[in-house]
Structure 1
Amino acid sequence: GPGADLVSSRWIIDATRHILRTRNPDLALCYVPHLDYDLQRFGPRDPRSLRAAADLDAELAPLLEEAEAEGRTVVVLSEYGIGEVSRPVDINRALRRAGLLEVHTQDGMEYLDPMTSRAFAVADHQLAHVYVRRPEDLPRVREVLEDLPGVGELLGDEGKKEHGLDHPRSGELVAVAEPDAWFTYYYWLDDARAPDFAQLVEIHRKPGYDPAELFMDPLDPYVKVKAAGALARKKLGLRYRMAVVPLDPSPVRGSHGRLPQRAEEGPVLLCSRPGEVAGSLAATEVKPLLLRLAGIA
């Protein structure tokens, strides 16, 4: 959420060290979030991101030293490389303006109605799955999105097959953003009618990923006071509402989802056991590698 920082990563690293000491697992998986979050906030070249990488390196040192002392093999994996972005693309708003996306209103707030919409998008960073109810609407949806600034490519049936995205649950179209762009999930046209969850860290009700959750609303002068009050209610076991997320997506400076333009912008896999990894790996080859290194496969 908005407060995720080095403290979160440190807690997870210490928990992993505890598990390794007390449980001796064959395979331990540890996700360290704060570097991912800072690069999305600030972009990969920002001095704050470089400092976050150095800070994380220092925090990981005890874990790596203990793993080496115990004779463990360590694999460091990033699932993606984060690129610099500056343009949010409101793909659902474009579908709504074209009369393809429908909402229902409750207490003055608008909620996406997927059952009556002819088309809507589920946004995920630089990809968006576009679900189209009727085949006859596909040409119109494609026309709307091809004219939308920031959309670099629209994958239909053949394109999805080429990229391994032809899953039954994939959208009828998959939109790929241009290198400096990314997709918001927003569908309301007036912030005064945004749904109640829009300013919450709420991953299950939003039709797509919301990197604005990594920020606190700069337009609210009392945002930190509200956050502190909500946290206090949480600790007391009371109901609380952490409404601190901004509705302005423009501060986001890092995203991912496109295939990298250069190899150095892509994901990284490092292995402490020499000779086990040669050249590049497909993402689908990572699991067999880990099982083999753990002696499970």
Structure 2
Amino acid sequence: MSKKYIIAICLSMIFSLAPAASAIEQNNKVILLSVDGMRNDLTLQYMQDGSLPHIQSLAESGIAAEHSITVTPSLTAPSHAAMATGALPSETGMVSNKWQDPEEPLARKENAFKENLDKIPLWEEARKSGKVTATVLFPGANPSADEKGDYSVYYGETLAEHSYEKLSFEPAGRLDSVPKSFSPVMEAKIPVQLKDASNLHLSLLAVDTIDDSEKKYDTFILRDAEELNKDVGQTKNQEWGAFPLKINDENAGFWYKVKANENLEESYFYQTEIKSAVFGGPEEFEEEIIDQFGFFPVQEDVKAFEEGWISRKEYEEIGARFADWVSDVTLHIKDKYKPDLLMAYIPHIDHESHHFLLENPRQPGYSKEKSAEYMDYVKWSYRVADSVVGRITDSLGKNDHFLLASDHGMEPVHSILAPNQLLKEKGYLKMGGDGKIDKNNSDAYAVASGSAAQVYLNKNLPDKEKEELKKELVSLFEKFSVVAPISLKGLGHDLKAISDSVSEKSLQSFKDKTNQFFTYLPGSRIYPYEIVTAAKTVTSHPNAGELLLMAAPGYMMGSKLTDPVQPTKELGSHGGDPRRKELKAVFMATGPAIKAGGIIGPVSTLDIAPTVYNLLDLPAPGFVEGQVIKEAIKKDK
């Protein structure tokens, strides 16, 4: 055989193999799970005590960053926008969780979670490049928006509030499809007020299925009073029941529980909120999800727990049910539709930490016993996240990459600031005769979210007046101070935090905790508006205010007109300086292109998007400001 034929055969073999190699690369898949509010330091603590076995295994099989720093302000919407795009709030438009409508003079707020991103997110950019993408509750991935994945599930609306009603039973009227009862069947009427729809009228039948010559009502049947023939199933006393609904052609439903004694004299009916979800995908996608996994459940009901309507066990069952639904739907999409990029989100840690992060003796209601109880509640939410991580890691195939990230941490707070009260006292904010803000005659208004607040100036003011007003407001907030409360336990807490920072070899934390100790010495003055800056220098976007306020550790912001400083009901907050220890986030990754078993240096939430593009073998858009986390990726990738 001549040399030219041998060369031709070799070349043909090389070219025939090239597409196969490319196909292997293109088979890379990425799953990104965002766990809202997951603190880096608490995650490490719970990993060390064995509470998070699946997250521990994830870190050991791949990489874990020393910590992750999010954008400023450290809030959910800006941070998730940074994850999804690799761009700063000045580019995405997500300057806060809520902001002033740029088209209005003052006091009309917009909800960031319903708004479009100004930069193309991962799921849309990858889709444009021919990848199949899916999102499950990921903030910003609203199927109603212009940019969406091939398969999307997102939060809808609250269609009805939760309730806890005392029941009044009477002999039942119409009895269709009712099991045999050894006592007269009794009926209670339950009205459910719906938003933007006709109210529900429910009928609850009580049945005695125990043949013992005594009245022992143990079985309950819930029906729509206007559709008595509809089969909705039945539940036992003190057991959960589900009631699916169609409201204005939307799939919805609620979970409920009857709490009654055997003779029905003391009987109560607990009903969760009724929520809807928004679906994006093929025509049959929504019905497929509802048929297999049921209606979109409520994610929590802390008010019902605090009011004593439900027990802690029942409260946790509600949270676990939501986590299971999200996990089920996420893994169903993964297995059936095999997306190249799948981005999901769970909120449990954020929610639990806002309500129960009781760590500091300066916090309202603090005691060692109560702190231990509440921190167990917080740890439960981390275990929920761990179970979701476990289900995802169990599902991973040979080409799957799994990234675990959080958007921010969470710090304990003891006081809430009222920037609008300061503005009102100085005459910058004026009230109308109806008790509402006079938006036309006010010069400034603060929109608070967590530990941050955007201060907006009336857009009708001349530019020269605005510049003078900005200087006055900076001075107002920078000079505001309060006397440090005397708290020996609080100072002891600060000293321990200093000691911990030395053990952790964290210079930033050492500086922060040392400053905090001296700030709180008796007689010292605390300046709670720690960072006051011209917001346009941080987030030069029309959605941003002229000033950005961020609170000192221990403080959060409020929009209401109250005392300038008062004890807070919320125990955990975020939005402040993302470099603070408690506000640092989490990043871990595993997969065939990820190095194994190592701790890498700090990363940024801005680095997540370019890293995902790299794993998917896609070029990152020009607006991306983050960097590929090269320390995490194998060199031969």
Q: TM-score, normalised by structure 1?
A: 0.68
What is the aligned counterpart of 1:272 among 590, 593, 599?
590
1:102 has 2:433 as partner: no
Tell me the CA shift for residue 119 of structure 1.
Answer: 0.5
Aligned partner of 1:281 in structure 2 is: 603
1:138 has 2:436 as partner: no
What is the aligned counterpart of 2:376 among 33, 47, 61?
47
- The one-letter code sitting in structure 2 at the alignment partner of 1:144 is L
Aligned partner of 1:91 in structure 2 is: 419
Tell me the CA shift for residue 58 of structure 1.
Answer: 2.0
What does 1:87-236 align with in structure 2 at a 5 Å threshold? Answer: 87-104=415-432, 106=434, 110-133=435-458, 134-149=466-481, 150-156=528-534, 161=537, 164-187=538-561
Q: Cα deviation per residue 1:213-242 (whole Å; 9 max; x = unaligned)?
A: xxxxxxxxxxxxxxxxxxxxxxxxxxxxxx
Give the SS at the match of 2:343: coil
Q: Which has the higher strand share?
A: 2
Percent identity reads 23
Q: 1:16 to 1:176 in 2, by over 3 A?
A: same
Give the SS at the match of 1:73: strand
Give the SS at the match of 1:30: strand
Following the alignment from structure 1 to structure 2, what is the Cα–Cα distance between the partners of residues 116 and 256? 32
Aligned partner of 1:252 in structure 2 is: 570
Following the alignment from structure 1 to structure 2, what is the Cα–Cα distance between the partners of residues 292 and 85? 39
1:60 has 2:389 as partner: yes
Q: Root-mean-square deviation (CA), in Å?
A: 2.8
Q: Cα deviation per residue 1:196-217 (whole Å; 9 max; x = unaligned)?
A: xxxxxxxxxxxxxxxxxxxxxx
Tell me the CA shift for residue 76 of structure 1.
Answer: 0.7
**Structure 2: which 5+ residue stretches go unaligned?**
1-298, 303-318, 360-374, 459-465, 482-527, 620-637
Give the SS at the match of 1:171: coil
Instruction: Determine if contact 2:411/2:582 at 8 Å carries over to the other structure.
Output: no
Following the alignment from structure 2 to structure 1, what is the Cα–Cα distance between the partners of residues 337 and 618? 17
Q: Cα deviation per residue 1:14-56 (whole Å; 9 max; x = unaligned)?
A: 2111111121111111010111111111117522101221232
Aligned partner of 2:508 in structure 1 is: none
Give the SS at the match of 2:346: coil
Instruction: Determine if contact 1:104/1:113 at 8 Å carries over to the other structure.
Output: yes
Following the alignment from structure 1 to structure 2, what is the Cα–Cα distance between the partners of residues 287 and 97? 45
Q: Cα deviation per residue 1:75-118 (whole Å; 9 max; x = unaligned)?
A: 01111111111111111122122221134455xxx433444320
- The one-letter code sitting in structure 2 at the alignment partner of 1:22 is K
Instruction: Determine if contact 1:44/1:83 at 8 Å carries over to the other structure.
Output: no
Give the SS at the match of 1:166: coil
Following the alignment from structure 1 to structure 2, what is the Cα–Cα distance between the partners of residues 131 and 264? 29
Give the SS at the match of 1:31: strand
Q: 1:178 to 1:64 in 2, by over 3 A?
A: same
Give the SS at the match of 2:399: coil
- The one-letter code sitting in structure 2 at the alignment partner of 1:96 is K
Instruction: Determine if contact 1:128/1:183 at 8 Å carries over to the other structure.
Output: yes
Tell me the CA shift for residue 266 of structure 1.
Answer: 0.4
Following the alignment from structure 1 to structure 2, what is the Cα–Cα distance between the partners of residues 59 and 283? 21
Give the SS at the match of 2:585: coil
**Structure 1: which 5+ residue stretches go unaligned?**
190-247
Q: 1:264 to 1:120 in 2, by over 3 A?
A: closer
Moved runs in structure 1, 4+ residues, more than 6 A?
none
Tell me the CA shift for residue 283 of structure 1.
Answer: 2.7
Tell me the CA shift for residue 264 of structure 1.
Answer: 6.6
Following the alignment from structure 1 to structure 2, what is the Cα–Cα distance between the partners of residues 80 and 136? 35
Aligned partner of 1:69 in structure 2 is: 397
Tell me the CA shift for residue 284 of structure 1.
Answer: 2.3
Tell me the CA shift for residue 180 of structure 1.
Answer: 0.8
Instruction: Determine if contact 2:577/2:583 at 8 Å carries over to the other structure.
Output: no
Give the SS at the match of 2:301: coil
1:291 has 2:605 as partner: no
Q: TM-score, normalised by structure 2?
A: 0.34
Aligned partner of 1:8 in structure 2 is: 322
Q: 1:249 to 1:289 in 2, by over 3 A?
A: farther
Q: 1:261 to 1:292 in 2, by over 3 A?
A: closer
Instruction: Determine if contact 1:44/1:50 at 8 Å carries over to the other structure.
Output: no
Following the alignment from structure 2 to structure 1, what is the Cα–Cα distance between the partners of residues 572 and 582? 16
Give the SS at the match of 2:341: coil
Following the alignment from structure 2 to structure 1, what is the Cα–Cα distance between the partners of residues 444 and 582? 36
**Which has the greater radius of gyration?**
2
